[in-house]
Amino acid sequence: MTVTAASDPNLTRLSAQGPLPYAQFKREIQGRVRRRRSPFAVVYERGGQVHRVADAAADAELMSAESIFARKLLPFRTERWTPVSGCPW
């Protein structure tokens, strides 16, 4: 999934490094919502569909809790992605 636009410039820069796993994207969004007082917008593409969110804190999908499985068993590490190499697995 990729971030097309965001009112938070750090989120845009993070997505510019390559596609993000959706779980990592949600963690980033939730962390940014906790730190910001003002609402922020994000436009992202996931599964071929474009999602436009006017206020990330008010979006039920982005703010939903992670399952215990995802939290404990699916650690994500930052991997530099390039179109030539693609997925390292």
- Could you please report the per-residue DSSP string of 37-72? SS---EEEEETTEEEEES-GGG-HHHHSPPPHHHHH
pLDDT of 79 reads 59
**Gap between the Cα atoms of 46 and 63, Å rounded:** 16
Tens place of pLDDT for every residue, the chain, 89 residues?
888 888 888 777 877 777 788 888 888 888 888 887 778 889 999 888 999 999 988 888 888 887 777 767 766 555 565 666 556 56
Domain limits of the chain? 2-71
CA distance from start to end of the chain: 17
pLDDT of res. 75: 63
Two structure tokens written together for 4: 């097309």
What's residue 85's pLDDT?
58
Position 87 scores a pLDDT of 61
**What is the C-alpha to C-alpha distance for residues 27 and 89, in angstroms, rounded to an integer?**
23
Q: Which residues, 6+ apart, have CB-to-CB distance to 76 below 8 Å?
A: 21, 23, 24
